[in-house]
Amino acid sequence: MNIITFENTPPLPLEPHFKDIKAANYLMQHLINMMEDPIYVETGVSAGRSISFILQKCPSIKRAYGVDFWSENTDTFERSGDTHYSQAHSDRAFLSASNRILSSGHKDKVTLIKEDVAVAVDHFEDNSIDLLFLDHYLNKKDVEECLPMWYNKVKVGGYFAGHDWIYAGVKKSVLNFREQYDIKPLLSVSGGEWVWKKDGNI
Ligand SMILES: C[S@@+](CC[C@H](N)C(=O)[O-])C[C@H]1O[C@@H](n2cnc3c(N)ncnc32)[C@H](O)[C@@H]1O
């Protein structure tokens, strides 16, 4: 497993990592701030805008994990249609993510896992994550596969969340998953974000 931590890397000068209301993971800060020593996991870190924002807004985070393969990929969920990202683009995104983390003021709390989500999931014990934010999926199949793959990694009483509700492939897959496993807790949606509080494993 390709694990990156920043304890031995000098920090960069502190910078504010602000996000606007349309950006991913704008609302989760309130939930995270209500928790004690939360473990936060985000899939799909890209250039690190969301994880660095959450780190600065949520000082109580005990450990933040970011998963991304930073590989060439094609995103079918982009508003403008299928968008291809080259390996060079992903390499630049990784560098930006590292720099944002180093300038967040919270670098020592962060672990990046540079792997496919299907590999990285094995790094986590069942019932170990307080808030999981899924934001890596590039198509409907990715969404369908990741929901059952990651569900039991979140603690009972923790939050299972993600981005891109505006895309039919996300909405349908999440609703089907809830129906398939008879998941009853209230599904809360705001803008692109969706979340519910887990009441049991599948
Ligand atoms: C929409 S971007 C995430 C945006 C990010 N959360 C932010 O703050 O801007 C999606 C990211 O998911 C990653 N990704 C896509 N499929 C993946 C997979 N199967 N495993 C790991 N990472 C993946 C891509 O490399 C890309 O960086």
Instruction: Give pLDDT tens digits for 133-165.
Output: 999 999 999 999 999 999 999 999 999 999 999
Is residue 26 in some structural domain? yes
Pocket test for ligand 1, best of 40, 42, 68 (most atoms within 8 A of CB): 68
Q: According to the model, what pLDDT value does residue 24 have?
A: 61
Please tell me the residue having the least CA distance from ligand 1 atom 8. Answer: 50
Taking CA atoms, 5 is separated from 19, 130, 153, in Å, by: 24, 20, 21
Amino acid at 183: I
Is residue 202 in some structural domain? no
State if pTM tops 0.85. yes
Is residue 105 in some structural domain? yes
DSSP bridge pairs for 69: none
pLDDT tens digits along 3-61: 999 999 999 999 988 766 566 667 788 899 999 999 999 999 999 999 999 999 999 99
What DSSP element (H or E) covers 159?
Answer: strand 154-162
Pocket test for ligand 1, best of 19, 50, 80, 136 (most atoms within 8 A of CB): 136
* pLDDT above 70 for 71: yes
Domain that holds residue 13: 3-197
CATH of the domain at 74: 3.40.50.150
The candidate with the shortest Cα–Cα distance to 117, out of 45, 62, 170, 15, is: 45
Is residue 70 in some structural domain? yes
Is residue 108 in some structural domain? yes
How many domains would you assign to the chain? 1
Q: Is 52 in the pocket of ligand 1 (CB under 6 A)?
A: no
Q: Is 107 in the pocket of ligand 1 (CB under 6 A)?
A: no
Is residue 41 in some structural domain? yes
Tell me the average pLDDT across 84-89. Answer: 95
- Own/partner contacts of 86-91, CB < 8 Å, gap of 24 or more, are none
